[in-house]
Chain A
Amino acid sequence: MSIVNDTAAWLTDPDHWSGPDGIPHRLVEHLAVSGAAVGIACLIALPIAFVLGHTGRGGGAAVNLSNASRAVPTFALLVLLAATPVGFGNRATVVALTVFAIPPLLTNAYIGVRDVDPEVREAARGMGMTGRQLMRRVELPLALPLVAAGIRTVAVQVVATATLAAYVGGGGLGRLIADGFGRADPAMTAAGGVLVALLALVVELTLAFVQRRVTPGPVRRRVRPLAPPESAVVPPAV
């Protein structure tokens, strides 16, 4: 098929591997924007989730927020934010991506802390642990697998959303796709698609590996059905 050859030719053309529009620069841009968003979102969401999970309060709201956020198209939110004083460009993209990343992080970490066996909690209290010790030495280690799952989910989602940001003036690898469509250049479009898909898969596999490493064997979960209340485990596709 000629489109496959054309795409391969586009990807191997040295011209496309240098300069501000080149693949390496776009990749770095994509990773920087995504990494900043995930980092900021963790700093905001995780402490809130730990406290909510520890006190057992406000959890319903956190889960509902996450489920409701599934119904809001990321594309709509990107455009809406671009139309507010947040504006567009890479900094605005970081803000938008952070907004998307908070609900799933919050929910996963909250569920992780809340689902700690009450008997384990009881035992820790019986050993004379204070609330803070309980949180730091019992709840957080036991919640770690779900926190890691949340970060993985969010990272993949953010990398995908960062691609869309190209349509509202952002940079990153999405530019290749947006420009490919804009110039009616199928090879460029498909090349962008290949690179973005590869990036998402690499991020997913890398973080899945990390998640497995921090999950003790007996805790690894089997596939379970996804009823709406626990749908927080499934990220919205982007």
Chain B
Amino acid sequence: MPLPLAVDEAPNPWLSWSYVRDNADAIIAATKQHITLTVVSVALGLLLSIPLALLARRFRRLETPLLGLTGFIYTIPSLALFALLAPVTGLTAKTVVIGLTGYTLLVLVRNVLAGLDGVPPEVVEAARGMGIGPVRMFLRVQLPLALPTILAGVRVATVSTVALVTVGVVVSNGGLGQLIFEGFNNNLYHAEILTASLLCVLLAAVADLLLLLLERLLTPWTRR
């Protein structure tokens, strides 16, 4: 609500179709970057956490230090992490991806580990009795059975990452965060700030829903 004493000021509505219409290109570009940064970071995180979890299962003594390390990374505020990376990797998307991938490890390693640990030993035993090799055992037996837990982790990691991408604005690669900060610097341009913020929340919700659907598709046996 505009204050009564500000009658002379230009209107600054929170929602404005003309803003969206006139800036459609910039909004789409920022959304695309936001999605790309999220997908790349979570995918890299998943690719890293599977071998890490397997390593921790092979050498149980590594489990505690490994989980401790992911917790250590998670504790470092994103702004500080970007500030530490930027002098080396510069004001690039690389800086953002490295940082965000690091954050996904906390949830992903934990859930991959828990998922694999949750596979009933008698199932593994039965498969081994059928003469299945270690690679097929992992791909055809253990991974599918661990999938619900792994995907639950992917959902948590994705929603967090969508929110965190905005901080990438400090290295000029913040997806929708760029628009939020631009709106802030642009004399508090309400429509720009709110539109970009709402899109962030919408992206997180859509991603969560899509991953839920993916889980349904990939694990039909979990439905009664």
User: Interface of A with B (CB < 8 Å)?
Assistant: 3, 7, 70-77, 79-80, 82-83, 156, 159-161, 163-164, 167-168, 174, 177-178, 180-181, 186-187, 189-190, 192-194, 196-197, 200-201, 204, 223-228, 231, 234, 236-238
Contact = CB atoms under 8 A, between A and B. Distances in A.
B80 A196 contact: yes
Contacts of B88: 3
A38 to B, nearest CB: 15
A224 B188 CA distance: 44
Interface string B142-171: 000000010011011001101111110111
B107 A226 contact: yes
Given A164-B79, A190-B83, A82 B111 contact: no
B117 to A, nearest CB: 9
A192 to B, nearest CB: 5
A228 B212 CA distance: 11
B79 to A, nearest CB: 5
Main SS of the interface on chain B? helix
Contact of A73 (B153, B155, B164, B194): B164
A234 B156 contact: yes
A71 B163 contact: yes
B193 interface: yes
Contact of A223 (B76, B87, B110, B162): B110
A226 B156 contact: yes
A223 B181 CA distance: 38
A77 B177 CA distance: 11
Interface of B: 67, 72, 74-84, 86-88, 103, 106-107, 110-111, 113-115, 118, 149, 152-153, 155-156, 159-160, 162-167, 169-171, 177, 180-181, 183-184, 188, 190, 193-194, 196-197, 200-201, 204-205, 208
A177 B155 CA distance: 31
A193 B164 contact: no
A7 B88 CA distance: 12
Nearest to A190: B87
A71 B79 contact: no
27 contacts: A7-B87, A70-B163, A71-B162, A72-B163, A73-B200, A75-B169, A76-B180, A79-B197, A82-B184, A82-B188, A83-B183, A83-B184, A156-B75, A160-B78, A163-B77, A163-B80, A167-B169, A177-B83, A180-B83, A200-B75, A200-B76, A223-B67, A225-B114, A225-B115, A228-B156, A238-B78, A238-B167
Contacts of A181: 83, 86, 170-171
A190 B81 CA distance: 9
Contact of A76 (B78, B87, B166): B166
Given A163-B80, A174-B79, A72 B201 contact: yes
A158 to B, nearest CB: 10
A160 B159 contact: no
